[in-house]
Amino acid sequence: MRADATRNRLAVVRAAREVFAEQGLEAPLEEIARRADVGIATLYRRFPSRESLIAAALLEKIREYAAAARRALAASDPWDGFACLVRAICELQARDRGLGELLSMTLPASDEVERLRAEAQVDVAELVSRAQAAGRLRPDFVAEDLLLMLVANAAVARITRSDAPDAWQRFVGLILDAFQYTGGDSLPAAPSAAQMTRVRARLAADRGCGAVPLTGNASGYVETDLRIGSPG
Amino acid sequence: MRADATRNRLAVVRAAREVFAEQGLEAPLEEIARRADVGIATLYRRFPSRESLIAAALLEKIREYAAAARRALAASDPWDGFACLVRAICELQARDRGLGELLSMTLPASDEVERLRAEAQVDVAELVSRAQAAGRLRPDFVAEDLLLMLVANAAVARITRSDAPDAWQRFVGLILDAFQYTGGDSLPAAPSAAQMTRVRARLAADRGCGAVPLTGNASGYVETDLRIGSPG
């Protein structure tokens, strides 16, 4: 009985990983149950909410993201470290549609996802401040720029996936050039942290993820993306 | 009778303009009929395909796009002209979700749309070659980069519209910095023109626009976007 439950849970998580990667986080749960060869009632018993299934399915990917941030810290050149992080995240996004979406939205997540995210956030903040201190990353770069880039890269990767699967690499090359400091003009103002929190909460809500608050601050909700530094 | 038909046609086009701007080009035609206060059969009689309705509804926007290209040519500084064009297109995209989509897809379009597009294409090619000749636009810039940027900007504008309505301006500022030549590193290869033609044909097909060919070249299909120079 217990073994059966474990087997079912694993099958659902494996199927969810595949389906979210292919179709994104709003994929029908019925499709996941079908591929896992379990009834929809069994799926709901193991995962009472879409969020809990997303957290379980994407845990490994979030680990890869946290590991990429840690690896980037090891680069001796501060700009190389930052660029290496950006490329790694964008590649993870390009390979997995679900992760692409997850990185740009808020989600009430599991403790483990939250721990990994917090860990990565510290590393990303360090990479940013090192690259800025070295004069290589533009001084007006803020966390929200990385988030805009993630939203954009997710769209480029999704839309070109079948017909021009390497196009995202060109796009990331352009974006890295934009982030690099060359003494150029100042930019229009960045969106505020509070605005981008609402953007991400709305993305989660649009994908059927729980009662995400769409007004005020999203306190109580874990931010699974790349917010750097002070809370919004 | 004739006056009635004209009135109905106008009402449908006006409603389509609103609904496409708000919801994108895959918006339900029933919603358009409802807002125009006509039956769905009347809508289909005037516009037998979704493409024909899109072409009629967005004709004015395509005119604005062609006019923006013409205006940009008048700038005395070649880089200012190019930057002015990019900003104008991205603003049109940000203000109208339907146009945002149209600019990055192929569509069997009307003669008038085709004429405007061809006119704008000549102007855009001229803006690009002037800015490159002046050493301000990166020499490895190709038409496909502009298309990737349009895909990305459409996503940024759509996702931030409600909560951070100016975020696309920051994004466009970053992208313009990426396009500007500063003697930096070379980029990963751009997707080919043929690849991007397939990407755009698929975008159109995903929005329920006709029998768009998804393999081979898209000959017979008008390209409503910004292809510059030689055919793919």
Among the partner residues A148, A166, A179, nearest to B167 by beta-carbon distance: A148
Range name among A44-48, A117-121, A205-209, B51-55 with the lowest pLDDT average? A205-209
In angstroms, the CA B59 to CA B95 distance is 15
Q: Is the pLDDT of residue A225 over 50?
A: no
Q: To which residue do tokens 């150029």 refer?
A: A184
Mean pLDDT, range B137-160, rounded to an integer: 92
In angstroms, the CA B145 to CA B151 distance is 10
pLDDT at residue number B109: 62
Mean pLDDT, range A206-228, rounded to an integer: 44
pLDDT at residue number B197: 82
Cα diameter, chain A: 66
- Token pair recorded at residue A169: 């690499």
Q: Is the pLDDT of residue A1 over 80?
A: no
Q: Do A191 and B152 touch (CB under 8 A)?
A: no
Q: Is the pLDDT of residue B217 over 90?
A: no
Q: Do B162 and A202 touch (CB under 8 A)?
A: yes
Q: Is the pLDDT of residue A43 over 90?
A: yes
* Angstrom distances, CA of residue A71 to CA of A30, A33, A65, A133, A220: 38, 36, 10, 20, 30
pLDDT band at B107 (very low <50, low <70, confident <90, very high): low
Q: Map out the domains of chain B with their CATH numbers.
A: 1-48 (1.10.10.60), 58-232 (1.10.357)
Q: Between A and B, how many CB-CB pairs are < 8 A? A: 150
- Token pair recorded at residue B224: 């409503």
Q: Which residues, 6 or more positions from B141, have their beta carbon under 8 angstroms from its beta carbon?
A: B128, B132, B179
- Token pair recorded at residue A182: 């060359």
Q: Do B199 and A174 touch (CB under 8 A)?
A: no
Condensed to tens digits (0 to 9), the pLDDT of residues B111-127 reads 787 788 888 889 999 99
Tell me the residue length of chain B.
232
- Token pair recorded at residue A189: 């103002």
CB atoms within 10 A of CB B229: 14
Mean pLDDT, range A195-220, rounded to an integer: 61
Q: First and final CA of chain A: distance in angstroms?
A: 46
Q: Is the pLDDT of residue B203 over 90?
A: no
DSSP 8-state assignment for residue B211: T
In angstroms, the CA B196 to CA A164 distance is 7
> Hey, which bits of chain B come out as E strands?
none
Among the partner residues B155, B175, B191, nearest to A155 by beta-carbon distance: B155
Determine the residue among A86, A158, A177 to mutate to test chain B binding: the one whose Cβ has the most chain B Cβ atoms within 10 Å. Answer: A177
Range name among A211-220, B37-46, B170-179, B205-214 with the lowest pLDDT average? A211-220
Average pLDDT, chain B: 84
Q: Work out the minimum CA distance from B79 to partner chain A, whole angstroms.
A: 13
H/E element, B58:
helix B50-73
Q: Work out the minimum CA distance from B96 to partner chain A, whole angstroms.
A: 18
Greater confidence, B230 or A125?
A: A125
In angstroms, the CA B8 to CA A128 distance is 57
Would you tell me which residues 139-168 of chain A have a C-beta closer than 8 angstroms to some C-beta of chain B? 144-145, 148-149, 151-156, 159-160, 162-164, 166-167
ipTM of the complex: 0.82
Greater confidence, B128 or A103?
A: B128
Average pLDDT, chain A: 84
Greater confidence, A102 or A176?
A: A176
Greater confidence, A135 or A232?
A: A135
Condensed to tens digits (0 to 9), the pLDDT of residues A153-175 reads 988 998 898 899 999 999 999 99
In angstroms, the CA A19 to CA B121 distance is 40
Please return the burial class of A133, using the count of CB atoms within 10 Å of its CB with bins 0-12, 13-18 and 19+: exposed
pLDDT at residue number B231: 34
Q: Which residues, 6 or more positions from A54, have their beta carbon under 8 angstroms from its beta carbon?
A: A16, A20, A25, A98, A102, A107, A209
Closest-CA residue of B relative to A184 is: B177
